[in-house]
Amino acid sequence: MTHMGLSSCVSLCLPDLFIERFCMTGGSSPIGYLKAWQTNLYLSADAEKVREALSEGIAAATMFMSNKLTEVSQTQLRVAFDGDAVLFSDESERIFKAQGLDGFFQHERDNEDILLDRGPLKDFLASLGKLQKKFYAKGHRLDCPIRTYLVTARSAASSGIRALKTLRAWGLETDEALFLAGAPKGPMLEKIRPHIYFDDQMFHVEGAAEMGTVAAHVPYGIAQKHPHKKSLNTGK
């Protein structure tokens, strides 16, 4: 399904994972080959290559390993996603930056029935969903070896509804959806114990890594232009 970085990450929990495809590019960028390989996810410690992959429409993230690693399941792959600017576009984040929290809430209420645009990792969640359905077909619904999580700063009562409606319309509901309403993500991720967590904001990536989660940064959206400004995910 995937190759390169994810293979090494997944092999932490799936020691029998075969890594069959690889390339040696003599120091030149491998990004041009990713589409030909039908890559579902590109992970690298090289942020520049990750940005290049995202610009090619490939789901991609920069890896940051934690010094302290929380023990993870050996039998179930758990993947956690932020919502805005990861599964969804950064549309709402832009409204927050321009109009503040009240403007954001109003915008989400006004657009509750309008689906959010796709974000850079939507197709990767869809790929995991396809694998899950294969396990369901074999009777493994409750003990599916893949479990997905939405971990968002949106709140369930208001802005979260639009996110849920969008996922449902895409047919891509995560197994669990956690609406933190601005609370720190690190402690929740410590409980979930995902093998990897994706977020567009370094603040959350660092917060997750500090608490032992393998976190990956998706360098996409408005948060990259103003990384130190108050953001949707930290401002509530």
- Residue 152 Cβ vs Mg ion, minimum distance, rounded to whole Å: 7
Q: Which of 46, 82, 102, 175 is catalytic?
A: 82
**Distances in Å between the alpha carbon of 35 and those of 41, 55, 57, 70, 217?**
11, 12, 9, 33, 21
Q: Is 52 in the site for Mg ion (CB under 5 A)?
A: no
* HEC readout, 3-63: CCHHHHHHCCCCCCCCCCCCCCCCCCCCHHHCCCCCCCCEEECCHHHHHHHHHCCCCEEEE
From the list 77, 85, 163, 202, which residue makes contact with Mg ion (rule: CB under 5 A)? 85
132/148 with CB nearer Mg ion: 148
User: Which tokens hold the place of 32?
Assistant: 């041009």
CA count, 13 A, side-chain hemisphere, 5: 23
- Residue 216 Cβ vs Mg ion, minimum distance, rounded to whole Å: 13
- Residue 204 Cβ vs Mg ion, minimum distance, rounded to whole Å: 7
From the list 63, 82, 154, 208, which residue makes contact with Mg ion (rule: CB under 5 A)? 82
10/202 with CB nearer Mg ion: 202
Q: Is 84 in the site for Mg ion (CB under 5 A)?
A: yes
Binding piece for Mg ion, criterion CB under 5 A, among 62-70, 83-91, 163-171, 206-214: 83-91
52/84 with CB nearer Mg ion: 84
What is the rounded CA–CA span in Å between residue 105 and residue 78?
31
**Distances in Å between the alpha carbon of 219 and those of 7, 77, 119, 120, 202?**
21, 24, 11, 10, 9
Instruction: Considering only CA atoms, give the Rg of the chain.
Output: 17
144/209 with CB nearer Mg ion: 209
Q: For Mg ion, which residue has the nearest CB?
A: 84
Q: Which amino acid is at 153?
A: A
Question: Residues 190-209 vs Mg ion: string with x where CB under 5 A?
Answer: ----------x---------
> Catalytic residue at 199?
no
CB 152 within 8 A of CB 184: no
Provide the binding-site residues for Mg ion, judged by CB under 5 A.
Answer: 82, 84-85, 200
Provide the annotated active-site residues.
Answer: 82
